[in-house]
Structure 1
């Protein structure tokens, strides 16, 4: 596949497509995406998508996020998708294919984001404090997807408390794809969620999430937190049966 040809003319402030507002790069080499973002120009995009030919490494994601923060306008960007889900996987998966909070940090200045997809081969690994910081930085979120391909060198560290914080900060959130650890249910359970914290989330999908050994109170907690939930998908293998029971009990509460 030939690399995309970026057309630049004149001085650094006179760039072809300078009025561009939406840009989608399909099946793009990581190097070409980086080359585009390194053009000495500030872009007032509302939408930026990159669907990679091969999955970026942690270092490449860090560079891409830093360049996005430098080149794209935080005042206009509201849709960001960096997707390796259709990428060709390498034969030997290196250990540096995950996205951490430090890799995400350059993007926290984009407070107008409504739709965010970050898909890396190793997943997005965060803890409760980190997901809270992201939620506070992106309060306008309507759709959030932090996903991987099932190969995860580090387990998720977001608990049910972190999940609750996320939806409390992002009141417009309607669709969520994330990994979380539901093994420990907060002591107050479903009764500890006040009416003003109940989310309007309609779609929930999970990767590699850890279920509680008590499916009934977990289902009750999720129902209290997401009373308007319409779809509940679980993309896990080792704990598939446990999550199926949670899902069945969740629908019984509807």
Structure 2
């Protein structure tokens, strides 16, 4: 049974524990005190149990249609759904509706996961269909929003066209956070959803749509509307001025028009912007003299853009000073040259970001059907190129995820480790490797782990064909790392050398279970894969 429905069983266990103690160890006064304590904590406990829900299944079960003790959880839920959706004579009792509403008001966060089990309705998630069917009954018993205290609403997966009626019901609550996967909605569905947000989502402070994980054709902000109830184009840019409480916006692969960007730039409290716009788009919007923006994005802490012309971003940074970002993420399809990246980092290090910056990421973003299986050796980054980053002492995440050549050594890794003692994640180069044989060895990796004790993940190709450093009391141990990406780093082919490497890796990474490298992205590297597989086998069987 779902934990939200087990409170009676929990209370029964508590009272049995006290009641059946050896004779004389409890009194009626003890039982009374226990009952009063349980009663006092009943409401806070229920609020905690029901605060966050991943499905509407537990809530639907409170109607009491099926006997959860006599049927399996899935069978009971399927029967409940079938009765509500297909039995025209079914109508929940007033008591059941009041019980349903009493639990619905406790829900403050919904991160909904679609139910793929049921075949009753092909196009609409069954749970959402049930809520739509129940809505009129619930309103007749308890007027007002079905979820009066709902604040955070998220959908893990794409909403279908027929889910819109349920979305209307959920948006009647004064939610402050709305998130969903935008990817597979067609233009008509997108316009309907945006129209709903513009009408019902006026209290939204945090709006999160599809992450910019790949490039899709952005919705044209000038495209005529297909939403017949509105005589003007319904685009995300159109509703930005309506969302007056908006403080954080992630709009995936959608680009905002100039007026929307100007509206966001002029807000006193706006902290996060992620869009498919480029630096040139932002610069054109905020430098427009008719906009009269004195301090554009004055409170911005998180900026995530799509940028193929890094020189434009340098201009944007210079124009927006003073700016104290905490997170900067730049997606690109064309990587910057070494000199351009060095200039960008140098320009960025001259602002007020030195103390505030926590994440610096440059990510190579591909189209939906594109894969990367080679390194662009026309561009090579070395320690001097990346050296301006060393002036940021509070970095937690550094990602230079671009398929270019890298020429780094143990000394460069040591300098980074000492400069960023709080580092949690480090990625230098693409997972397919550096093109050049990596000069970083296990000595450099050890120093990285020593000086960055909070490190949780790293992607730094390293060569393992040299003797590993001796294991001493100062050798780091990282139990939280179970998988390594070695890029184009090579493991030894000799059995004794493989055993020495396996012993070292087993000591440093006690729970290591796998290694990934360039062979995962490029054919013809079976020998490299087999060498690393042999090392992993030794770790699991002989170390």
TM class by smaller structure: 0.7 to 0.9
Whether the aligned pair in 1 keeps the contact of 2:431 and 2:485 (CA below 8 Å) is no
Whether the aligned pair in 1 keeps the contact of 2:438 and 2:462 (CA below 8 Å) is yes
Unaligned runs of 5+ in 1: none
Tell me the TM-score normalised to structure 2 length: 0.42
Whether the aligned pair in 1 keeps the contact of 2:464 and 2:489 (CA below 8 Å) is yes
Cα deviation for residue 32 of structure 1 reads 3.3
Please give the per-residue CA displacement for 1:170-217, whole angstroms capped at 9, x wherever unaligned. Answer: 1111101111011012363xxx23266223441421211121232222
Aligned equivalent of 2:448: 166
Q: In the alignment, does 2:521 pair up with 1:232?
A: no
Q: In the alignment, does 2:436 pair up with 1:157?
A: no
In structure 2, relative to structure 1, the CA distance for the partners of 1:235 and 1:151 (3 Å cut) is closer
* Distance of 2:504 and 2:430 partners within structure 1: 25
In structure 2, relative to structure 1, the CA distance for the partners of 1:131 and 1:208 (3 Å cut) is same
Whether the aligned pair in 2 keeps the contact of 1:172 and 1:200 (CA below 8 Å) is no
| Superposed counterparts of 1:1-254, under 5 Å | 3=278, 4-6=281-283, 7-8=285-286, 14-26=294-306, 28-39=308-319, 41-84=321-364, 86=366, 95-148=377-430, 150=432, 152-186=434-468, 188=470, 192-194=471-473, 197-202=476-481, 203-213=483-493, 214-229=497-512, 232-236=515-519, 237=525, 239-252=528-541
Please give the per-residue CA displacement for 1:45-100, whole angstroms capped at 9, x wherever unaligned. Answer: 111000113111111211121122123511111111012253899xxx86441211
In structure 2, relative to structure 1, the CA distance for the partners of 1:95 and 1:124 (3 Å cut) is closer
* Distance of 1:168 and 1:149 partners within structure 2: 23
Of Structure 1 and Structure 2, the greater helix share is in 2
Cα deviation for residue 253 of structure 1 reads 6.1
Say which one has the larger Rg.
2
How many residue pairs get aligned? The number is 248
Whether the aligned pair in 2 keeps the contact of 1:126 and 1:158 (CA below 8 Å) is yes
Tell me the TM-score normalised to structure 1 length: 0.84
Find runs of 4+ consecutive structure 1 residues off by over 4 angstroms. none
Whether the aligned pair in 2 keeps the contact of 1:223 and 1:253 (CA below 8 Å) is no
Aligned equivalent of 2:52: none
